[in-house]
A and B are shown apart, each in its own frame.
Chain A
Amino acid sequence: MDIHRFEQNGMHIVLDVNSGAVHVVDKPAYEALAVWDGQNDAAVLAALGGAYGEAAAAEVLAELRALMDQGLLFSPPPAVPAALGDAPLVKSLCLHVAHDCNLRCGYCFAGTGDFGHDRGLMPPEVAERAVDFIIAGSGRRKHCELDFFGGEPLLNMETVRRAVAHVRRREAETGKVFKLTLTTNAVLLDEATLAYLNAENISLVLSLDGRREVHDNMRPYADGSGSWQDALAGIRRAVASRGGQNYYLRGTYTAHNLDFAADVLAMADLGFAALSVEPVIAKDGGYALRPEHLPALAAGYDALAAEYLARRRAGRPFEFFHFNLNLDNGPCVAKRLAGCGAGHEYFAVTPAGDLYPCHQFVGRDEYLVGNIFDGINKPAMVQRFRRAHALAKPACRGCWARFYCSGGCHANAQLFGGDLAVPYELGCELQKKRLECALMIQASLALEKGGC
C-alpha cells in the first residue's frame, strides 16, 4: 500500500506513505486515487468522465502525474538504513525507584505498584550504578535519559535526589547531557519537592484521568476513597510553580469512559494545556477495551480533533500529544523503524537493579535480560528486540502507518499475541485513527498558513 486516502473533518486527504508527503485533494482527485495506480489512466478517465467530464478527469490525472514525477505520490520505499544494523547504544533508562504506591489504580500494569513481586524501594547505590550503566552504554551519544518511575517515585525521593546528584557529577566529568523525567500521581507533590524538581529541571508526567468521577473510579487510595482532589491540588501546584512549562498531564481511558474526549476537554477546561490521554492496556476485566468499542472510540477522536481545531482558532488552544505531528521535521527513517528501542536502547531497572526491556516487561520473568552490575546476560534477547522493527513484522509491512508507529508496542504485542512480531490489533486501529486526526489537523493548519 503506497498511499493512504481518507476523509476526516470534511477534508479529503492523501498520504504518500513512503515519502511522507501529505496532499489535500478535491472530490474528483480523491475518487481518481481510488482507481489510479500510477499507470492506468484509461481506468480513471472511465471512472470520472461520467460524473465530472473528460476534461476535468484529464486535469486531475495531469496533476497526479506531476506529483508522481516529483516523488510525492507512489514514491518508492526507502532503503532500510544501515544504522539499524549497528551495535545498539543505551539511550534511556526507566528507574523503578519505588515498587510501591500510595494508590490502588484498577488498571495498573504494575499490579498496584509491586509488579507482581514484593514491594520495595530502590537503594540510592542502585540508582547511582544505573547512571554509570547508561553512561558506559551510551557510547558517542551525547544525550542520555532517565525517567524516575514506579509505583510512585515520590515515595523514594532520597534515591531520586542521590541519583540526580550523581547525574550532575557525571555530566561534568563526561560531557553527557541528561534529560530527566519523573512520572507521578501527584498527590505527594508538596512545595519543597516541587522546588527541588524545578531547580533540577526535571520534566513531570502527571497522572489525571479527567473528570472527577472517571478518575476516582479507577484511581482510588488503598482505602477506596478517590484521589482526584488531591491529585488535582498537586498538579495545580506543580504547573503553577513551573510557569506552565515542562509537564504533561497524562490520563488513561478505559471501557468505562469511551467518551474520553470529554475527559481531555475537562482537563483543558481546568486550565491545563499539555495533555495526553491513552487507551488502557488490559486483557481482562470490565474496564478492558474490546473491538466492539472501536466505533465509539473513533468517534471520540473525531470529536476531539474537531474541538482541538475550534479552540485553537478561538484563541483557547490546548495540546493533545497524539495530534502533535511534525510533518516537516519528524524523525528519520532509522528512528521511525526502530521505534521505542525497548530491549536494546531502552531498559527498565528494578529496585534490585535487574534489567528488563521496558517498564511493561518488568515482572515477566522470562524477559529479565541482566542487571546493572553485571550487564546484559541475554544478548540474544537484545538482538531479538533490535530486529523486531516495523519492516520485520508481516502485518506492518503493508500498513500505511508503519513509519509513524514503528510497529507498535513490543510489550503489548507479547501480552496479546505472545509474539513480538505480531502487533496488538486494537492498539493499531486506535493508532491509525489518531494519525488520521493528526494528519487532518496538521493539513488544516498548513492550509491556513498558505499551504506548501
Chain B
Amino acid sequence: MAKHIVTVNKGSLQKTVKTGGCGECQASCQSACKTSCTVGNQVCQKQ
C-alpha cells in the first residue's frame, strides 16, 4: 500500500491508439460556445 501516493485513475490513452478511432462519438465544440461539448468532457461511445 502506497503511503505517499493514491492513484485515482489508471490512464488508458495509449491503449486507445489501437482500439479507438471509430468516429461514432459526438461532435465537440472546442470553444464550447454552442453545444458545450469540449472533447475532454466527452465519453467514448464504444464502451
Q: Show the binding face of A for B, using Cβ within 8 Å.
A: 16, 18-26, 28-29, 59-60, 63-64, 66-67, 70-72, 75-76, 78-79, 81-84, 86, 89, 91-92, 94, 109, 141-143, 145, 147, 149, 179, 181, 183, 205, 248, 250, 252, 276, 278, 281, 321-322, 324-336, 339-342, 345-346, 358-360, 403-412, 427, 431, 435, 438, 442-443, 446-447, 451-452
User: Which residue of chain A has its CB nearest to the CB of B40?
Assistant: A404
B44 touches A23 (CB 8 A): no
A443 touches B17 (CB 8 A): no
B27 touches A145 (CB 8 A): yes
Chain A residues within an 8 Å CB radius of B24: 141-143
- Which of A72, A83, A181 contacts B11, CB < 8 Å? A72
B32 touches A321 (CB 8 A): yes
A20 touches B36 (CB 8 A): no
Q: How far is the CB of A395 from chain B (nearest CB, A)?
A: 14
- CB within 8 Å for A330 and B44 given contacts A145-B26, A340-B29: yes
Chain B residues within an 8 Å CB radius of A63: 2-5
User: Which residue of chain A has its CB nearest to the CB of B21?
Assistant: A83
- CB within 8 Å for A22 and B3 given contacts A82-B21, A332-B21, A405-B30: no
B10 touches A335 (CB 8 A): no
- CB within 8 Å for A147 and B4 given contacts A22-B11, A81-B17: no
B5 touches A331 (CB 8 A): no
Chain B residues within an 8 Å CB radius of A252: 33
B34 touches A94 (CB 8 A): yes
- CB within 8 Å for A451 and B6 given contacts A142-B24, A205-B34, A278-B33: yes
- Which of A29, A205, A331, A335 contacts B36, CB < 8 Å? A205
Q: Show the binding face of B for A, using Cβ within 8 Å.
A: 2-14, 16-17, 19-36, 38-45, 47
The binding surface of chain A is classed by DSSP as: mixed
B44 touches A340 (CB 8 A): no
> How many Cβ-Cβ contacts under 8 Å join chain A to chain B?
227
- Which of A20, A23, A276, A346 contacts B27, CB < 8 Å? A346
- Which of A24, A329, A404 contacts B47, CB < 8 Å? A329
Q: A333 to B19, alpha carbons, bound, how many Å? A: 9
A59 touches B4 (CB 8 A): yes
B34 touches A83 (CB 8 A): no
User: Which residue of chain B has its CB nearest to the CB of A336?
Assistant: B39
Q: A336 to B16, alpha carbons, bound, how many Å? A: 10
A447 touches B5 (CB 8 A): no
User: Which residue of chain A has its CB nearest to the CB of B24?
Assistant: A143
A360 touches B33 (CB 8 A): yes
A322 touches B41 (CB 8 A): yes
- Which of B3, B10, B20, B30 contacts A332, CB < 8 Å? B20
B31 touches A360 (CB 8 A): yes
Q: A169 to B32, alpha carbons, bound, how many Å? A: 31
Q: A82 to B21, alpha carbons, bound, how many Å? A: 8
Chain A residues within an 8 Å CB radius of B30: 339-340, 342, 405-410
Chain B residues within an 8 Å CB radius of A412: 31
Q: How far is the CB of B38 from chain A (nearest CB, A)?
A: 7
Q: A418 to B10, alpha carbons, bound, how many Å? A: 39
- CB within 8 Å for A333 and B16 given contacts A83-B23, A141-B24, A340-B27: yes
6 extra interchain contacts, Cβ-Cβ under 8 A, other than A19-B14, A63-B4, A341-B28? A29-B5, A67-B5, A205-B34, A325-B40, A335-B44, A442-B9
- CB within 8 Å for A435 and B40 given contacts A79-B17, A341-B27: yes
A327 touches B8 (CB 8 A): yes
- CB within 8 Å for A404 and B39 given contacts A25-B5, A334-B21: yes
Q: How far is the CB of B26 from chain A (nearest CB, A)?
A: 7
- Which of B20, B23, B26, B33 contacts A333, CB < 8 Å? B20
Q: A183 to B29, alpha carbons, bound, how many Å? A: 13
Q: How far is the CB of A385 from chain B (nearest CB, A)?
A: 12
